[in-house]
Structure 1
Amino acid sequence: MADSESVLDYPIPNPTALEPPPEWARLRRECPVAKIRLPSGDEATLLTRYADVKQVLADPRFTRQLDTRAGAARVAANESGGVFNSSMASVIPQAGPGHRRWRTKVGRWFTAKRMAALRPRISAMAEQLIDEMVERGHPADLRAALGFPLPVWVICDLLGVPNSDRDRFSYWSDTLLNLTKYDQAEIDAAQAAFVEYMSAHVAARRAEPGDDLLSSLITEDAEDPMSDEELITTGLGLLVAGHETTANMIGKMVGMLLSDRSRWEQLLENPSLVRTAVEESLRFDANPGVGLPRFISEDIELSDTVVPGGTTVMCSMGAANRDENAFDHADEMDLSRSPNPHLAFGSGAHSCLGQALARTELQTVLDVLLRRLPTLELAVDASELERVEGLVVGGLATLPVRW
């Protein structure tokens, strides 16, 4: 049991892939501002209460770009390119007018209206992947067959990348989100290969614009153009933020819904619950990854504890989303829960830019699966599902299913 003096090793292990660590509840109750040791060996402070996590994530004073701050903790011994610490991250300002400019430009592509227009294309991609999975027969690994490829197909589509390069983008995404899975040489090589590819791709789009996000950023803002570096970094950000997280969430969402068969049956009987079921899956996710780090630049009081300036805090959205003070019956999965102000996409100025896209992908996948494979079920006991290890974002190593 944690107290204010003990130091917990972090991340805290889950008892199973779909269950939260029991420590989350104890920490929220007894030690909501806890000392932790990160995989790098550096110490930081863990926040587990909803109000504290939301406050820190929404506070513009606290930076997420840790490599600019002396004394900031490293999350892993070999940091990945583009998630927490990256020289490329400095191309796009992390706060202030420069950050708002970038978010405004890119955010035009991620409106709910635009995502709704994308839905038929996403649905067609899901149909194709399910066709191929069914043709191969069951049992099948739904993560490998559908969850992993679909989001990278969507990102490639947004960036105007040809279908033949989808596999390369999958590898780059996997590598750039590393904590322990790849060595530094592999990470550096992947980032270099990505930058080389995107440099050529941006040049091609400047010469011959298409109907994609990069082309629109090049052509629509002639008076305030983005530099090549900004466009390349935008591509990196979309790949890193938009692929692995959604890929893993597809697997976890379906795993949660099938682990208790009554949930799947409820959706079959009432498909109109798909939207709220997606939101509840995001809230209920017990394996969301390490959380979001922030560097506290000045003293702040959280849960009656003064956190001194110069502290790195890790915001656990997973623990916050199970906070009984924020959600009635927080430990129950309620597919009709509404409203559902979960923190899966963060909060404030740095909340996930692509959340409308993620929601569209998750809702579309669930719609298609319910229609195409109503008899879908887990091919193993839920307790046998294994977490994917070595990546910043949490997920299932495989999702064996049959139908």
Structure 2
Amino acid sequence: MSEVDELPRFPFPVDAALEPPAEWAELRAKCPVAHVQLASGDEAALITRHADVKTILSDPRFTRPTRGDDAARMTDTEEGGIFNSEMSAVIPQHGEAHLAWRRSIGKWFTAKRMNALRPGIAAMAEQLIDDMVAKGAPADLKASLGFPLPVWVICDMLGVPDADRDRFSHWSDAMLSMTRFSAEEMKAAELEFGMYMAAHIAAKRENPGDDLLSALIADPEPMSDVTLIATGIGLLVAGHETTANMITKMVAMLLEDRSRWESLLADPALVRTAVEESMRMDANAGLGMARYITEDVEIGGTVLPRGTTAMCSMAAANRDEDAFERASEMDLARTPNQHLAFGAGAHACLGQPLARTELQVVLEVLLRKLPSLDLAVGVDDLRRVEGLVVGGLVELPVRW
């Protein structure tokens, strides 16, 4: 048996859907830079302390592994998936080119634009909740609200038909697979998604609309078609998968101890800080962020040699007692809250203003329309999504 076979497998298995694996606290205390084995069988260095994760993510020398790097593979297949896709190779990952790409898209995620979206998001949330109530309790909040709302929002932003959301969901899951899909399924999803987005962009050239992709096409310094396709796919995957899961997990956490829900009903002004605290407390966030170490660096008293793949676990870092007082407790009024759910540095999540807006609006509307909302099953019966890069719940049965 080789040495790598004896390493702990990451992500760590955990039974409880909303609880962190015990390994996080142990590693933060005793081994903040730990050698682990990924789903691919390759070795990586797992970083679990808040200060260390923030340091690595903020260091411009270290970026997402690209095809030319001798980095650890994330998935159990040699090719296919988000980490091995054309998309990961096309979108610039370094320096000025990366910053220019972010600037082009970032114009669409300003506070002014987000505030303008709020009424539409609220109206859509109300419609979805009304539809759910009409069908009667119990209902699956993920299928009824958590999934369709962010898909509708990002489709509207990209000018893509919301009616195609089931296809987007399949393609996204396949591209975000670690162990769930075969290499053939992952490659097929990437190809189909690419062809779909290419046709959509061609149609936008002919008939531009008031959407992000039309704006990127008309930009004085336009992206190449292949970059536009990759950008569209990336935004569609990121724009619905993570937020759809976070809506579901946030409501689950708030209903797990119903005094939290009662606190929000009593003081809806807590919604903003409750959203931030839900993201900090998310114990089912998925893989984290990989960084390729391009030169020797000391982290947490350990030298990471050049060529190391560092797995930054933002979820583990978000429960670091050195960064957060009473880190294991959910404090709906916690402020400041320097959580790392969106990453840090030059690669911090571009869509975080949109995600925050959606989470806040959904919570506001749920509190107003369904104050009696409660779990329809015990917390122990909630099940995690397995085998994907992003973490989530299979479903969230609720009643009211």
TM-score by length of 1: 0.95
**What is the CA deviation profile of residues 62-119 of structure 1, one whole-angstrom value per residue up to 9, with x for unaligned ones?**
121343202x111111267563232222222101111111000000001121111111
Corresponding residue number in structure 1 for 2:23: 23
Corresponding residue number in structure 2 for 1:347: 344
**What is the CA deviation profile of residues 274-311 of structure 1, one whole-angstrom value per residue up to 9, with x for unaligned ones?**
00000000001011101111111111111111111111
Q: Helix, strand or coil for the counterpart of 1:36?
A: strand
Q: Hey, what's the Cα distance between the residues in 1 that align with 2:109 and 2:93?
A: 19
Q: Helix, strand or coil for the counterpart of 2:338?
A: coil
Note the 1:4-403 alignment, pairs <5 A.
Answer: 7-70=7-70, 72-78=71-77, 83-219=82-218, 221-222=219-220, 224-403=221-400
Q: Hey, what's the Cα distance between the residues in 2 that align with 1:94 and 1:66?
A: 8
The alpha-carbon deviation at position 129 of structure 1 amounts to 1.3
Q: Hey, what's the Cα distance between the residues in 2 that align with 1:256 and 1:16?
A: 12
Q: Hey, what's the Cα distance between the residues in 1 that align with 2:12 and 2:102?
A: 33
Q: Helix, strand or coil for the counterpart of 2:311?
A: strand
Q: Helix, strand or coil for the counterpart of 2:34?
A: strand
Whether the 8 Å CA contact 1:66–1:294 is kept in 2: the answer is: no
Alignment-mate amino acid for residue 135 of structure 1 = A
Which ranges of 4 or more aligned residues in structure 1 deviate by more than 4 Å? Answer: 79-82
The alpha-carbon deviation at position 192 of structure 1 amounts to 1.2
The alpha-carbon deviation at position 165 of structure 1 amounts to 2.1
The alpha-carbon deviation at position 262 of structure 1 amounts to 0.3
Whether the 8 Å CA contact 1:142–1:251 is kept in 2: the answer is: yes
Q: Helix, strand or coil for the counterpart of 2:61?
A: coil
Q: 1:74–1:371: structure 2 CA closer, same or farther, 3 Å change rule?
A: same
Q: Hey, what's the Cα distance between the residues in 2 that align with 1:401 and 1:285?
A: 19
Q: Helix, strand or coil for the counterpart of 2:67?
A: helix
Q: Which moved more, 1:79-88 or 1:359-368?
A: 79-88
Q: 1:267–1:80: structure 2 CA closer, same or farther, 3 Å change rule?
A: farther
Alignment-mate amino acid for residue 8 of structure 1 = P
Whether the 8 Å CA contact 1:83–1:177 is kept in 2: the answer is: yes
Alignment-mate amino acid for residue 179 of structure 1 = M
Q: Hey, what's the Cα distance between the residues in 1 that align with 2:130 and 2:166?
A: 19
The alpha-carbon deviation at position 260 of structure 1 amounts to 0.2
Q: Helix, strand or coil for the counterpart of 2:62?
A: coil
Alignment-mate amino acid for residue 217 of structure 1 = L
Task: State the Cα RMSD in Å.
Answer: 1.5
Q: Hey, what's the Cα distance between the residues in 2 that align with 1:188 and 1:304?
A: 40
Alignment-mate amino acid for residue 76 of structure 1 = T
Q: Hey, what's the Cα distance between the residues in 1 that align with 2:396 and 2:324?
A: 28
The alpha-carbon deviation at position 6 of structure 1 amounts to 6.9
**What is the CA deviation profile of residues 21-58 of structure 1, one whole-angstrom value per residue up to 9, with x for unaligned ones?**
11111110001111101111111110000011000011
Uncovered stretches (5+) of structure 1, i.e. residues with no partner: none
Alignment-mate amino acid for residue 319 of structure 1 = A
TM-score by length of 2: 0.96
Q: Hey, what's the Cα distance between the residues in 2 that align with 1:79 and 1:152?
A: 30
Q: Hey, what's the Cα distance between the residues in 2 that align with 1:81 and 1:160?
A: 27
Identity %: 66
Q: Helix, strand or coil for the counterpart of 1:34?
A: strand
**What is the CA deviation profile of residues 374-402 of structure 1, one whole-angstrom value per residue up to 9, with x for unaligned ones?**
00000111122110112110111111110
Q: Helix, strand or coil for the counterpart of 2:337?
A: coil
The alpha-carbon deviation at position 366 of structure 1 amounts to 0.4
Q: Hey, what's the Cα distance between the residues in 2 that align with 1:12 and 1:49?
A: 16
Q: Helix, strand or coil for the counterpart of 2:35?
A: strand
Q: Which moved more, 1:294-303 or 1:165-174?
A: 165-174
Q: Which moved more, 1:383-392 or 1:273-282?
A: 383-392
The alpha-carbon deviation at position 141 of structure 1 amounts to 0.9
Q: 1:395–1:99: structure 2 CA closer, same or farther, 3 Å change rule?
A: same
Q: Helix, strand or coil for the counterpart of 2:371?
A: coil
Q: Hey, what's the Cα distance between the residues in 2 that align with 1:382 and 1:196?
A: 41
Q: Which moved more, 1:73-82 or 1:197-206?
A: 73-82
Whether the 8 Å CA contact 1:82–1:236 is kept in 2: the answer is: no
Q: Hey, what's the Cα distance between the residues in 1 that align with 2:239 and 2:14?
A: 24
Whether the 8 Å CA contact 1:82–1:88 is kept in 2: the answer is: no
